[in-house]
Amino acid sequence: MKLTLSYQAYSKAIAVTKAIKEEVSLIGILGEEGLRVEDFRVPKQMGSLAHTDIDMEDYADMLIDLSDEDIPPNRVGLWFHSHPRGVDGPSQTDEDTFLDSFGNVSPAIMMILTKGDFWYAGAEIDCPINGIVTRVSIPLEVEVEYKGEVDLSSWIEEVKSKLSKEANKVNKGYPGKSLSKWSGEEGLKDKSSSQGYWEWTDDDEKYLQELTEEREEEEEEEEEEEEFQELCARYGLDPEDKGNRENFRGGTIGW
C-alpha cells in the first residue's frame, strides 16, 4: 500500500529534516480520499538530538481549529518526525508514543525521515474481519507528487517558534549500542537524571556519527552484493570464484 505526499508536504518534511538538527514532529493532513498527505502542521513541542515530545494540549487545540476548517480527526492521525541522526526506523519510545497518542484514530500513520533521505511509514487501520473490527498494521511505501509550487519562506521560522529545545540531552531509549562506553567505568548511572536523560558529550556525538556511517556502509555493501549476485546469474558465473568478485569490483564483469 502506498502513502502519497503532495509536493508541499514533501518539501516541508525535507526542509525541517535538513535545516533543524533536533528531532521535529509534524502532524499530517490527509486528503478526503485515499492515503494522500496534503500538508503538514506543526504543534508546540520539545525536541533534542534524539527525542521529540508533542505538547498534547496544543495538539488538541489544533484538532479543534482543524475541525473549524471541516477537517475531521480521522484526517489528522498522521505523526511525522525527523531522525536527523540517521536511524532509519522507529525506536521503542516512538512505538509507545504512537500507540498512546494516536492509537484511537484510524488510519493512524507514523512517518520518519532521516537526514540521508530514508523514509519509513507504517499505518494502523481498523478493518472489519468476519464482522469484528480488528486493528491491522500495514507497512506503507512512500511516493511523492513532484508537481506544483511551494513557498517555504516562513516555514522553518514557524517550526522553530514551536520548538523548545532540550539542550545537550538524549533520550535514554535511543536505539542501538549503549552509549555507556563513552562514560567511563561508572557508566551512566552517576550522570543520569530522574527524567532518564544523560549528559550529551562530544564522544556521544562521535559515536552517533560512527553508527550512522556504519549503517551507510552496510547498506552499500548489501547493494553491492545484490548487484554482484545478479550479474553472476545473468552471465552464468560462479559467485564463489574470487576472480569473478575481483573483476566485479574492477568493473569488468559483463563487459
Q: Strands, E, within 98-196: which ranges?
A: 108-114, 119-129, 132-139, 141-144, 163-165, 169-171
Which pLDDT score, from 0 to 100, does residue 126 have?
Answer: 85
Using alpha carbons, list the distances in angstroms from residue 57 to 53, 122, 195, 234.
12, 25, 21, 58
* Phi, then psi, of 94 in degrees rounded to 5: -60, -45
pTM of the model: 0.64
Domain boundaries, the chain: 2-167, 201-249
Cα-Cα-Cα-Cα torsion 35, 38, 44, 45, nearest 10 degrees, comes to 50
pLDDT mean for each 10 residues of the chain (255 residues): 94 90 94 92 91 90 91 91 83 88 87 88 88 88 89 90 67 33 32 35 57 69 86 88 85 60
Which phi-psi region, left, alpha or beta, contains residue 67 (left: φ > 0; alpha: ψ -120 to 50)? alpha
For 130-138, the CB contacts below 8 A with 24+ separation are: 135/106, 138/1
**DSSP track, 37-90:** EEEEE---EEEETTEEEE-HHHHHHHHHHHHHTT--GGGS-EEEEEETT---S-
Which runs of consecutive H residues, i.e. helices, occur in the chain? 7-19, 56-68, 92-102, 155-162, 202-235, 242-249
The three cell numbers of residue 126 are 481498523
Task: Please provide the CATH number assigned to the domain covering 2-167.
Answer: 3.40.140.10
Instruction: Give the chain's end-to-end CA distance (angstroms, integer).
Output: 38
Which pLDDT score, from 0 to 100, does residue 177 have?
Answer: 32
